[in-house]
Structure 1
Amino acid sequence: MRISSITGSLCVIVVALFTGSLAAPPKPCASKVKEAVAPPRGWIKHGTPAPDHTIVLRIGLPQPDFHILEKHLYEVSDPYHHRYGAHLSKEEVETLVAPHQNSIDAVDEWLASHGIKESELVRSPAKDWVTLKVPVSLAEKMLDTTYQVWEHTNGDHIVRTTSYSLPENLHEHIDVIQPTTMFGQFKGSKSTIVWADENDVSAVQSSEPFVDPVSGVVVDPSCNTTITITCLQQLYNAIGFIPSAPGNSVGITGYLEEFANIQDLQSFYADQRPDALNSSFTFLSVKGGLNSQNLSDAGVEAGLDVQFAFGLSHPIPATFYSTAGRPPFKPDIGTPTDTNEPYTDWLDFILSQEKPPLSISTSYGDDEQTVPKSFALRACAGFAQLGARGVSLMFASGDGGVGDNDPNPATQQCFTNDGRNATRFIPGFPASCPFVTAVGGTTRVPEVAVSRFFSGGGFSDFFARPAYQEQAVSSYLAALPKGTYKGLFNPNGRAFPDVAAQSDRFRIFLSGRPILIGGTSASSPAFAGIVALLNDVRLSKGLPPLGFLNPLIYSKAASGFNDITIGHNSGCGTTGFNATQGWDPVTGLGTPNFGKLKELILPFPG
């Protein structure tokens, strides 16, 4: 007698007699709720989607050896470990995140029981994700749920459900299925535009340059009013450095139909980086993402990102990724684009590449609480895979301070999304993922925490505080007056941002005109440009790239940052946290001093 494993949507006990006949007919499996959320704040039911509305389901299978990958990641990212810099190959990473075969078989049998063929499935290289397109009527049957069209108070629409179920025996074989319970509003992190030709403060200068007392470098006084490539080079002690090492690379991610205009880039180069004129970037489309070159289609977010990241790191080879997918849609135009957060599509794509860029910046994100924890954990694990392969990932920490810098309490979004509507600081994701480097914002010279908007920062409700920041964050918390903001944040959570950079009044070109723009969407690409220069230092000496930065910057390289001690990050009707000596949840460890860091990232002499 042999009893088979229980798989698929039927609980089947197979008794293999000599004749091979079944001893008993199949018994249906009982469904059990896999995930449920409270009706989300700001969303109301708008209607019912058409039965033939198409949903792209992403099924995440367990990664039983992820803890081994995480161990590798921390070893190769620790400057005091003998394996520092020994990054894993694409194939080694895929082996460590692959699901067990019994999970693959169980999911395949379940899908087959609903008439879904192997040819209709798209698998990730590690087979830990399965993607398929199904009508909503079939998705409802598979997940024992009912989808609704939901409308947000800002007019956005999505097709989602507040819970879904799976056959009980499948729970151990599936981590997450989306889109189901995700009500995020994936958005860029940028502040108000100032048209430079209407309010051109670049001409406001005093007559003499001065020495920044924090970094010790000479800075032109115009940098107090307008940030240029030269300002960043001066502020961060990178004047005169010309990268030249082969094998280096830098990348920018683009979403939400934000197009990087090459004519604007050339105008920017003519204005600030004439030696880069006639150079450009490689464009890569993800899931059909476009990059229209009509000047009227130029995106302010994309323009800011590519102009400063690529301008600061020139001539390092640069790539711009445009990922299709805009979750909100109008439910009356047939079957629209209505997917998961598009950065997961980008993750699928970039993880399949043999040589991803070594320094990558993303200026987009969500409120952490609008992303189901199961999904956040899996997306974060994808970022860890890139880190293990030697990629440095920077994410903007957001511009809402500790949650929302809206001064009107009636419209603030500083409440829990669990049905309680309790007041809470709201961390951002992916900045809260412990496997990325979150970048906060500063302004002026000497630098202070940005005040025209507020540098996103705080403590994750999903991710525990990683060991690499335990000492720095514990010191900060110990210095807080007892009871400060008690109950408003998780003092044991992953703390962010990790670092900061200038983030206000960046002079860029948009649709042929100069403008001033700010936000942590400016500080993240600026920091990514500095990381690309640091990679050049290592590569030129035959050393591997930096990879996952955080274990390095919280230890050996901590003294290479300019400590920011003035300012705060208001939000949720409070003044938020204060910038202070050492790490703080406003500016992290501070802003980079390239002159110091380029020495700290090299091996100890001897």
Structure 2
Amino acid sequence: MQLFKLVALLPFIAPLALAASSKDCAYKTKEEVHAPHGWIKHSKPSPDHKVSLRIGLPQPNFGILEQHLYEVSDPDHERYGQHLSKEEVEELVAPHQESLDSVGEWLSAFGFKEEDVTRSPAKDWVSITVPVSLAEKMLDTTYHVWKHVGSGESLVRTTNYRLPSNLHEHVDVVQPTTSFGRFQPFKSTVVPFDEEPEPLVNSLVEAESFGSDVTVDPSCNSTITISCLQQLYNAVGYVASNNTKNSIGITGYLEQFANIQDLQTFYAEQRPDAVNSTFKFFSIDGGLNNQTLSEAGVEANLDVQFAFGLSHPIPAIFYSTGGRPPFNPDQTTPTNTNEPYQAWLDFVLTQKNPPLVVSTSYGEPEQTGKVTKFWADKSTEALFSVPESYARRVCASIAQLGARGVSVIFSSGDGGVGDGNPNPATQQCITNDGRNVTRFLPTFPASCPFATSVGGTEHIDPEVAVSRFFSGGGFSDYQQFLRPAYQQAATRKFLSTLPDGLYKDLYNPAGRGFPDVSAQGDRYRIWYQNRPILIGGTSASSPAFAGLVALLNDARFKAKKGPLGFLNPLLYSKGASTFNDVTGGRNPGCGTLGFNATEGWDPVTGLGTPNFGKLKDIVTSRFAL
């Protein structure tokens, strides 16, 4: 399909008369919310407190990009594997010139010049850093410091903002304004040792049968190692190459960085051929890389050791992204950069060659507020801690990566159907619409239809849904994250097994279901601060699955094919039969027993756990271009 040509952009110089007309145009409400459950208004920020406003301009041709994405990701389509270039994707998400001009005139009216503005490569995002007093004038609003009762975290936010009426069709979203999201790591829960753990024994003991063609060391019931994952998922004996076309990436946030000394100790114990190898490091917005052992990040160590250990010697990248809550709103110098995931997306989309598979073990509940049966009544208002307008744009960025051949992997979360708190008894799953009723809390960005979400399992022969915490899963509440075509049959089959009326009004049965797949999620043996520990969470499942995807990409390169890219259309079709179905366990939360793991896809373990050997045969077969 021939892509349209991008219209040459005009210089950012707006006549003062036009600027004045934009500024003087009557303001109308663009977005208005009630503060989500758990947030209280605390105080006024300093007028000089800096806010980095990100203005999302409409992407009028995103539907064409989405069509490309599904065509190049569908194994039954003639274009399968023919991913787009960076420039082709940017062309498809670029805003109309009229939107660029209108937003430019508005910014000029407040004294901004081109050098004050940062633009995304496609010009669909405009970023400016301003004191909160000026942001209030630009958006005709009032910011406050809001505090989260449970954590004590602070955000500078408003519950509404307004724009000149002539700008509404040219601006999708402005943030940070109404977003109360708490981007958090999923619980990398350390398993306490009663005594110092014994050294690993490298020689295998008698193995138990797992499926028809895989054997697994019984010790994997109590400790998960690289060898255990290779055995469980039929990857024993596969030797990857260090093809520079291939790559795997891990994202780190909230002061998380990976310690190289711990990584080398881990390699010496579990992957001796990887000793002295390392990874490429990128710091984004001041992301840390302090190699002091006492300051190493347990989440980052887990992700790097298993993702890179499984995929060695495939080129590896670690991204450390700065910016986080809580912050001190009384300080005037720091910028309120507590949406670090978008900062990572902004950075990686500028890269000519992003990593071909990326794992992220962070997320947040979609909503903590007013949500009713809006899937049946489009006019009913819903309240989200991550506004749908913003979530949709983040998800659109993930789609851009998928169209370029990147597999984007997310943990599904550890709170079952609840709020990310592994203890169902203390979860807060309450609406704030006056009814104070229970509502399941799906996880974003795991609920993005263009991402692959990974749940957690434990044990061998058989694997079951992890039980020490609970594999996140359910159905998206966002109106625009409806059930995608690739999972229609699988999701309908699952829903048909539920008793009539079960969890009525607690979830959206028309929404995108997640997770898509699962992998072992507990008792991973890692090295942390120069000692071995056991750790668990879907934050372990995601990098493990990503490591296997990197190996699949390696197999495709060896077969003279390209990377897999967006995985889900393949996984739910030709790939579905290659997964080990998980039929035991459930994901309780919000005062309920949650959903059951059942035959076929379910919102606890997805399609099940991967059989690498079978998947490799499929993705390197003649059908796969």
Same-fold call, TM cutoff 0.5: yes
Between the aligned partners of 1:337 and 1:171, the Cα distance in structure 2 is 26
- 2:613 match: 595
Aligned counterparts of 1:190 and 1:235: Cα–Cα separation in 2: 24
2:370 — aligned with what? none
C-alpha distance in structure 1 between counterparts of 2:539 and 2:242, whole Å: 27
CA contact 2:548–2:612 (8 Å) conserved in 1: yes
Shift of 1:419: 5.8
Q: Give matches, 1:154-165, under 5 Å.
A: 154-165=151-162
> Could you say which residue in structure 2 is the equivalent of 1:194?
191
Offset of residue 30 of structure 1? 1.4
| 1:376-425 deviation line (CA, Å, top 9, x unaligned) | 00000000000000000100000000014758777422123556533100
Q: Which residue of 2 aligns with 1:461?
A: 477
The 5-angstrom pairing of residues 68-467 of structure 1 reads 68-153=64-149, 154-196=151-193, 198=195, 200=197, 209-214=206-211, 216-244=213-241, 246=243, 247-369=245-367, 370-404=385-419, 411-416=426-431, 420-446=435-461, 447-462=463-478, 463-467=481-485
> Is the contact made by 2:14 and 2:105 (CA closer than 8 Å) also made in structure 1?
yes
Matched, 1:32 2:28: yes
The answer to whether the Cα contact below 8 Å between 1:209 and 1:218 also exists between their aligned partners in 2 is no
Provide, for residues 429-458 of structure 1, a one-character-per-residue CA deviation record: whole Å limited to 9, x for no partner. 000000000000000112100000000000
Matches of residues 505-516 of structure 1 in structure 2 within 5 Å?
505-516=523-534
**Worse-matched range after superposition: 335-344 or 552-561:** 335-344
Q: What is the rounded CA distance, in whole Å, between the counterparts of 1:565 and 1:34 in structure 2?
A: 46
* Residue in 2 that maps onto 1:17: none
Deviations 1:341-363 (A, max 9, x none): 21100001000000011111000
- 2:281 touches 2:319 (CA, 8 Å); kept in 1? yes
**Of the candidates 50, 58, 76, which is equivalent to residue 46 of structure 2?**
50
Q: Which moved more, 1:363-372 or 1:66-75?
A: 363-372
- Give the counterpart of 2:591 among 549, 560, 573: 573
8 Å contact kept, 2:365–2:419: no
CA distance in 1, matches of 2:605, 2:41: 39
Query: Aligned equivalents of 1:310 and 1:494: distance in 2?
Result: 30
2:388 maps to a residue whose letter is: K
Q: Partners in 2 of 1:28 and 1:10 — Cα distance?
A: 14
Structure 1 residues 145 and 367, CA, compared in 2 at 3 Å: closer, same or farther?
same
CA apart distance, 1:29: 1.5
| Cα displacement string for residues 271-290 of structure 1 (whole angstroms, at most 9, x for unaligned residues) | 11111001110001112212
Per-residue displacement from partner, 1:469-511 (whole Å, max 9, x unpaired)? 0000000001111111010000000000000000000000111
Aligned to 2:5: none
Contact 1:212–1:445 (CA<8 Å) still a contact in 2? no
Q: What is the SS of the residue equivalent to 2:133?
A: helix
How has the CA–CA distance of structure 1 residues 197 and 299 changed in structure 2, closer, same or farther, with 3 Å as cutoff? farther
1:344 match: secondary structure: helix
Worse overlay, 407-416 or 301-310: 407-416
Whole-angstrom distance in 1 between the partners of 2:420 and 2:560: 46
After superposition, the Cα gap between the structure-2 partners of 1:189 and 1:174, relative to the gap in structure 1 and judged at 3 Å, is same
Equivalent position SS for 1:493:
coil
Aligned sequence identity (%): 68
- Aligned partners of 1:84, 1:27: CA distance in 2, in Å? 48
Return 414-423 or 119-128, whichever deviates more: 414-423
- Give the counterpart letter for 1:186 in structure 2: F
Output the TM-score relative to the length of structure 2.
Answer: 0.91
Does structure 1 conserve the Cα–Cα contact (< 8 Å) formed by 2:253 and 2:340? yes
Query: Match of 1:134, SS?
Result: strand
> Which of 568, 586, 591 does residue 604 from structure 2 map onto?
586
Match of 1:499 in 2: 517
TM-score, normalised to structure 1, is 0.93
CA distance in 2, matches of 1:571, 1:206: 41
Could you report, residue by residue, the CA deviation over 1:26-82 in whole angstroms, capped at 9, with x for unpaired residues?
Answer: 993111110111122111111100111110000000000000000000000000000
Deviation of the 1:574 alpha carbon: 0.9
Partner of 2:376: none
Number of positions where the alignment pairs a residue of Structure 1 with one of Structure 2 = 591
Amino acid aligned to 2:105 = E
Instruction: In structure 2, give the amino acid aligned to 1:137.
Output: S
SS of residue paired to 1:464: coil
The 3 A distance-change label for structure 1 pair 11 and 163 is farther
Matches of 1:388 and 1:565, distance apart in 2: 33
Whether the 8 Å CA contact 1:10–1:27 is kept in 2: the answer is no
Counterparts of 1:430 and 1:573, CA distance in 2: 24
Shift of 1:196: 4.8
**SS at 1:461 equivalent:** coil
Structure 2 match to 1:18: none
**SS of alignment partner, residue 338 of structure 1:** coil
Opposite residue 346 of structure 1, the aligned amino acid is W
- Give the Å deviation of 1:162: 0.5
Give the letter for the 1:381 counterpart.
A
Give the 3-state SS of the residue equivalent to 1:302 in structure 2. Answer: helix
CA contact (8 A) 1:54 1:134 kept: yes
Residue 12 of structure 1 and its aligned partner are, at CA, apart by: 7.8
CA deviation after TM superposition for structure 1 residue 331, in Å: 2.5
Runs of 4+ in 1 over 6 A off after TM superposition: 7-14, 201-207, 407-410
Whether the 8 Å CA contact 2:73–2:569 is kept in 1: the answer is yes
After superposition, the Cα gap between the structure-2 partners of 1:13 and 1:242, relative to the gap in structure 1 and judged at 3 Å, is closer
Report whether the alignment pairs 1:562 with 2:559.
no
- Segments of structure 1 that go 5 or more residues without pairing to the other structure are 1-6, 15-21
Change in CA separation of 1:418 and 1:464 when aligned onto 2, cut-off 3 Å: farther
CA shift, 1:200, in A, is 3.1
Q: Which runs of 5 or more residues in structure 2 are unaligned?
A: 1-11, 368-384
Cα distance, 1:10 vs. partner? Answer: 12
Q: Helix, strand or coil for the counterpart of 2:512?
A: strand
How far 1:208 moved relative to its partner? Answer: 5.3
Amino acid at match of 1:529: G
Tell me if the contact between 2:45 and 2:330 (Cα under 8 Å) persists in the aligned partners: no
Alignment partner for residue 490 of structure 1, among 486, 508, 516?
A: 508
> RMSD of the alignment, in Å?
2.5
Amino acid at match of 1:376: A
Q: Find the counterpart in structure 2 of residue 3 from structure 1.
A: none
Residues 527-570 of structure 1: CA deviation (Å, up to 9, x unaligned): 00000000011011110110000000000111111000000001
